[in-house]
Structure 1
Amino acid sequence: MVQGEDRLPSSVLFACSMNAVRSPMAEGIMKMLFPFKVYVQSAGVHEGQTDGFAAAVMEEIGADISRHVPTTFEDLHDTSFDLIITLAPEAHHHALELAHTMDIDVEYWPTQDPTSEMGTREQRLAAYRRVRDQLTARIRQRFGWKPPASV
Protein backbone atom coordinates (compact mmCIF):
# COMPACT_ATOMS: atom_id res chain seq x y z
CA MET A 1 0.00 0.00 0.00
CA VAL A 2 1.50 3.32 -1.03
CA GLN A 3 0.74 6.06 1.44
CA GLY A 4 2.10 9.44 2.39
CA GLU A 5 4.60 7.88 4.76
CA ASP A 6 6.67 11.05 4.72
CA ARG A 7 3.66 12.75 6.36
CA LEU A 8 3.12 10.06 8.97
CA PRO A 9 4.21 10.70 12.53
CA SER A 10 5.43 7.66 14.43
CA SER A 11 2.79 8.13 17.15
CA VAL A 12 -0.57 9.89 17.38
CA LEU A 13 -2.93 10.49 20.30
CA PHE A 14 -6.55 11.38 19.53
CA ALA A 15 -8.30 13.16 22.40
CA CYS A 16 -11.84 14.25 23.19
CA SER A 17 -13.90 14.89 26.30
CA MET A 18 -14.82 11.38 27.47
CA ASN A 19 -12.87 8.97 25.20
CA ALA A 20 -16.13 7.21 24.43
CA VAL A 21 -17.11 8.29 20.90
CA ARG A 22 -14.98 10.68 18.82
CA SER A 23 -11.44 9.79 19.85
CA PRO A 24 -11.98 6.00 19.84
CA MET A 25 -13.56 6.34 16.39
CA ALA A 26 -10.56 8.33 15.16
CA GLU A 27 -8.18 5.79 16.72
CA GLY A 28 -10.00 2.92 15.00
CA ILE A 29 -10.01 4.70 11.64
CA MET A 30 -6.30 5.53 11.85
CA LYS A 31 -5.43 1.94 12.76
CA MET A 32 -7.56 0.66 9.89
CA LEU A 33 -6.04 3.03 7.30
CA PHE A 34 -2.43 2.77 8.51
CA PRO A 35 -2.07 -0.68 10.08
CA PHE A 36 1.31 -1.24 11.74
CA LYS A 37 2.62 2.11 10.42
CA VAL A 38 1.74 4.45 13.31
CA TYR A 39 1.33 3.89 17.04
CA VAL A 40 -2.17 5.20 17.78
CA GLN A 41 -3.95 5.70 21.07
CA SER A 42 -6.88 7.76 22.33
CA ALA A 43 -7.77 9.44 25.61
CA GLY A 44 -10.27 11.79 27.16
CA VAL A 45 -10.22 14.51 29.74
CA HIS A 46 -12.80 12.53 31.72
CA GLU A 47 -13.53 8.81 31.69
CA GLY A 48 -16.72 8.09 29.79
CA GLN A 49 -18.56 4.86 29.15
CA THR A 50 -18.28 2.64 26.09
CA ASP A 51 -20.79 3.79 23.45
CA GLY A 52 -22.72 1.15 21.51
CA PHE A 53 -23.67 3.50 18.68
CA ALA A 54 -20.00 4.35 18.08
CA ALA A 55 -19.11 0.66 17.97
CA ALA A 56 -22.01 -0.07 15.60
CA VAL A 57 -21.12 2.57 13.01
CA MET A 58 -17.45 1.63 13.15
CA GLU A 59 -18.33 -2.03 12.59
CA GLU A 60 -20.09 -0.92 9.38
CA ILE A 61 -16.68 0.03 7.93
CA GLY A 62 -14.83 -2.96 9.32
CA ALA A 63 -13.24 -1.31 12.36
CA ASP A 64 -13.89 -3.03 15.68
CA ILE A 65 -13.88 -0.68 18.66
CA SER A 66 -16.33 -2.75 20.71
CA ARG A 67 -13.64 -3.69 23.24
CA HIS A 68 -12.43 -0.11 23.68
CA VAL A 69 -12.01 0.89 27.32
CA PRO A 70 -12.28 4.67 27.89
CA THR A 71 -9.00 6.16 29.12
CA THR A 72 -8.10 9.56 30.53
CA PHE A 73 -4.95 11.60 29.95
CA GLU A 74 -3.89 10.64 33.49
CA ASP A 75 -4.22 6.92 32.63
CA LEU A 76 -1.67 7.15 29.81
CA HIS A 77 1.54 5.30 30.61
CA ASP A 78 3.49 7.09 27.89
CA THR A 79 2.91 10.68 26.83
CA SER A 80 5.72 10.96 24.30
CA PHE A 81 3.52 11.27 21.23
CA ASP A 82 4.66 13.07 18.10
CA LEU A 83 1.19 14.48 17.53
CA ILE A 84 -1.94 15.01 19.59
CA ILE A 85 -5.12 15.63 17.62
CA THR A 86 -7.88 17.06 19.77
CA LEU A 87 -11.53 16.80 18.80
CA ALA A 88 -13.13 18.86 21.59
CA PRO A 89 -12.25 22.23 23.18
CA GLU A 90 -11.65 20.84 26.68
CA ALA A 91 -9.31 18.17 25.29
CA HIS A 92 -7.47 20.81 23.28
CA HIS A 93 -6.73 22.88 26.37
CA HIS A 94 -5.55 19.78 28.23
CA ALA A 95 -3.29 18.76 25.32
CA LEU A 96 -1.76 22.24 25.12
CA GLU A 97 -0.87 22.02 28.81
CA LEU A 98 0.80 18.66 28.19
CA ALA A 99 2.62 19.91 25.09
CA HIS A 100 3.86 22.98 26.93
CA THR A 101 6.47 20.91 28.74
CA MET A 102 7.19 18.44 25.93
CA ASP A 103 8.00 18.61 22.24
CA ILE A 104 4.57 17.55 20.97
CA ASP A 105 2.62 19.03 18.07
CA VAL A 106 -1.06 19.65 18.80
CA GLU A 107 -3.79 20.06 16.19
CA TYR A 108 -7.40 20.96 16.89
CA TRP A 109 -10.05 19.36 14.70
CA PRO A 110 -13.40 20.66 15.98
CA THR A 111 -15.73 17.66 15.79
CA GLN A 112 -19.44 17.59 16.60
CA ASP A 113 -20.44 15.37 19.52
CA PRO A 114 -23.05 12.98 18.07
CA THR A 115 -24.37 12.06 21.52
CA SER A 116 -26.24 15.37 21.58
CA GLU A 117 -28.38 14.27 18.61
CA MET A 118 -31.98 13.56 19.57
CA GLY A 119 -34.55 11.60 17.63
CA THR A 120 -35.10 8.06 16.49
CA ARG A 121 -32.43 5.40 16.62
CA GLU A 122 -31.77 5.89 12.89
CA GLN A 123 -31.47 9.67 13.27
CA ARG A 124 -28.99 9.21 16.08
CA LEU A 125 -27.00 6.62 14.11
CA ALA A 126 -26.93 9.04 11.17
CA ALA A 127 -25.22 11.63 13.41
CA TYR A 128 -22.60 9.06 14.42
CA ARG A 129 -22.04 8.12 10.77
CA ARG A 130 -21.51 11.78 9.85
CA VAL A 131 -18.83 12.09 12.54
CA ARG A 132 -17.21 8.80 11.43
CA ASP A 133 -17.18 9.89 7.79
CA GLN A 134 -15.82 13.36 8.61
CA LEU A 135 -13.03 11.85 10.71
CA THR A 136 -12.21 9.35 7.96
CA ALA A 137 -11.97 12.10 5.34
CA ARG A 138 -9.87 14.31 7.60
CA ILE A 139 -7.45 11.50 8.53
CA ARG A 140 -7.07 10.47 4.88
CA GLN A 141 -6.36 14.05 3.83
CA ARG A 142 -4.04 14.93 6.72
CA PHE A 143 -1.88 11.82 6.46
CA GLY A 144 -1.93 11.34 2.68
CA TRP A 145 -3.74 7.99 2.61
CA LYS A 146 -3.99 6.35 -0.80
CA PRO A 147 -6.11 3.28 -1.58
CA PRO A 148 -4.23 0.08 -2.35
CA ALA A 149 -3.29 -0.35 -5.99
CA SER A 150 -5.59 -2.63 -7.97
CA VAL A 151 -4.12 -5.90 -9.12
Structure 2
Amino acid sequence: GERDPFVDAVLAEDDLSLGERQPRTLEDLEDDYFDLIVTLAPEAHHAALELTRSLAVEVEYWPMPDPTDTGGTREHIMAAYRDVRERLKTRISRRFLLPEAGNAAD
Protein backbone atom coordinates (compact mmCIF):
# COMPACT_ATOMS: atom_id res chain seq x y z
CA GLY A 1 0.00 0.00 0.00
CA GLU A 2 0.84 3.64 0.25
CA ARG A 3 2.93 5.11 3.04
CA ASP A 4 0.63 6.55 5.72
CA PRO A 5 1.27 10.28 6.37
CA PHE A 6 -0.13 9.95 9.90
CA VAL A 7 2.61 7.42 10.72
CA ASP A 8 5.23 9.89 9.53
CA ALA A 9 3.63 12.66 11.60
CA VAL A 10 3.57 10.74 14.90
CA LEU A 11 7.10 9.43 14.37
CA ALA A 12 8.32 12.98 13.73
CA GLU A 13 6.86 14.02 17.10
CA ASP A 14 9.42 11.65 18.68
CA ASP A 15 12.21 12.74 16.30
CA LEU A 16 11.93 9.43 14.42
CA SER A 17 11.65 8.83 10.71
CA LEU A 18 11.17 5.96 8.29
CA GLY A 19 13.53 7.73 5.91
CA GLU A 20 13.00 6.53 2.37
CA ARG A 21 11.53 3.17 3.43
CA GLN A 22 8.28 2.18 1.79
CA PRO A 23 5.68 -0.40 2.88
CA ARG A 24 6.36 -3.92 1.63
CA THR A 25 4.26 -7.06 1.67
CA LEU A 26 5.28 -10.36 3.21
CA GLU A 27 5.69 -11.69 -0.32
CA ASP A 28 8.26 -8.92 -0.95
CA LEU A 29 10.24 -10.25 1.99
CA GLU A 30 9.97 -13.94 1.11
CA ASP A 31 13.63 -14.34 0.17
CA ASP A 32 14.98 -12.31 3.10
CA TYR A 33 16.14 -13.89 6.37
CA PHE A 34 14.75 -12.97 9.77
CA ASP A 35 15.22 -14.23 13.32
CA LEU A 36 11.99 -12.62 14.47
CA ILE A 37 8.82 -11.35 12.84
CA VAL A 38 6.44 -9.21 14.89
CA THR A 39 2.90 -8.92 13.58
CA LEU A 40 0.29 -6.40 14.68
CA ALA A 41 -2.87 -7.69 12.99
CA PRO A 42 -4.42 -11.17 12.94
CA GLU A 43 -4.26 -11.39 9.14
CA ALA A 44 -0.56 -10.53 9.12
CA HIS A 45 0.09 -13.02 11.91
CA HIS A 46 -1.54 -15.89 10.04
CA ALA A 47 0.31 -14.96 6.85
CA ALA A 48 3.65 -14.81 8.70
CA LEU A 49 3.04 -18.20 10.30
CA GLU A 50 2.22 -19.68 6.90
CA LEU A 51 5.27 -18.09 5.28
CA THR A 52 7.63 -19.33 8.01
CA ARG A 53 6.15 -22.74 8.77
CA SER A 54 9.27 -24.56 7.55
CA LEU A 55 11.78 -21.96 8.79
CA ALA A 56 13.46 -21.42 12.14
CA VAL A 57 11.89 -18.00 12.64
CA GLU A 58 10.15 -16.77 15.75
CA VAL A 59 6.80 -15.09 15.06
CA GLU A 60 5.23 -12.93 17.77
CA TYR A 61 1.78 -11.37 17.71
CA TRP A 62 1.41 -7.97 19.36
CA PRO A 63 -2.25 -7.09 18.86
CA MET A 64 -2.77 -3.38 18.26
CA PRO A 65 -5.83 -1.29 17.48
CA ASP A 66 -5.99 -0.22 13.84
CA PRO A 67 -5.73 3.60 13.80
CA THR A 68 -6.79 3.71 10.14
CA ASP A 69 -10.32 2.87 11.32
CA THR A 70 -10.47 6.12 13.31
CA GLY A 71 -12.64 8.95 12.06
CA GLY A 72 -13.28 12.47 13.20
CA THR A 73 -10.96 15.44 13.29
CA ARG A 74 -7.28 15.34 12.42
CA GLU A 75 -6.47 15.62 16.13
CA HIS A 76 -8.74 12.67 16.93
CA ILE A 77 -7.02 10.58 14.26
CA MET A 78 -3.57 11.69 15.47
CA ALA A 79 -4.51 10.63 19.00
CA ALA A 80 -5.29 7.12 17.74
CA TYR A 81 -1.92 6.92 15.97
CA ARG A 82 -0.13 8.27 19.06
CA ASP A 83 -1.79 5.57 21.14
CA VAL A 84 -0.41 2.86 18.85
CA ARG A 85 3.03 4.52 18.86
CA GLU A 86 3.11 4.53 22.66
CA ARG A 87 1.89 0.93 22.88
CA LEU A 88 4.61 -0.14 20.46
CA LYS A 89 7.29 1.76 22.37
CA THR A 90 6.25 -0.07 25.54
CA ARG A 91 6.26 -3.48 23.84
CA ILE A 92 9.62 -2.83 22.20
CA SER A 93 11.13 -1.75 25.51
CA ARG A 94 9.81 -4.81 27.31
CA ARG A 95 10.93 -7.17 24.58
CA PHE A 96 14.31 -5.82 23.56
CA LEU A 97 15.82 -3.51 26.17
CA LEU A 98 17.86 -4.78 29.08
CA PRO A 99 16.18 -4.61 32.49
CA GLU A 100 17.37 -1.92 34.85
CA ALA A 101 20.07 -3.01 37.30
CA GLY A 102 17.63 -2.86 40.21
CA ASN A 103 15.20 -5.14 38.37
CA ALA A 104 17.71 -7.80 37.31
CA ALA A 105 15.89 -10.47 39.36
CA ASP A 106 12.59 -9.84 37.49
* Same fold per superposition (TM over 0.5): yes
For 1:98, the equivalent position in structure 2 comes to 51
For 1:128, the equivalent position in structure 2 comes to 81
Note if 1:60 corresponds to 2:38: no
- Ranked by relative contact order (alpha carbons within 8 Å, sequence separation 6 or more), the top structure is 1
Using the TM superposition, give the Cα deviation of residue 98 of structure 1 relative to its aligned residue in structure 2, in angstroms.
1.7
Mind listing any 5+ residue stretches in structure 2 that lack a counterpart?
101-106
Note if 1:140 corresponds to 2:93: yes
Using the TM superposition, give the Cα deviation of residue 85 of structure 1 relative to its aligned residue in structure 2, in angstroms.
0.7
Are the aligned partners of 1:117 and 1:127 in contact in 2 as well (CA < 8 Å)? yes
Q: Counterparts in 2 of 1:79-98, with a 5 A limit?
A: 79-98=32-51
* Structure with larger Rg: 2
In structure 2, what residue type is equivalent to 1:108? Y
Say how many residue pairs are matched. Answer: 100
Which structure carries more strand by proportion? Answer: 1
Mind listing any 5+ residue stretches in structure 1 that lack a counterpart?
1-47
CA RMSD of aligned residues (A): 1.7
Using the TM superposition, give the Cα deviation of residue 109 of structure 1 relative to its aligned residue in structure 2, in angstroms.
0.5
Identity %: 51
TM-score, normalised with respect to structure 1: 0.62
Which structure carries more helix by proportion? Answer: 2
Query: Runs ≥4 in structure 1, deviation > 3 angstroms?
Result: none
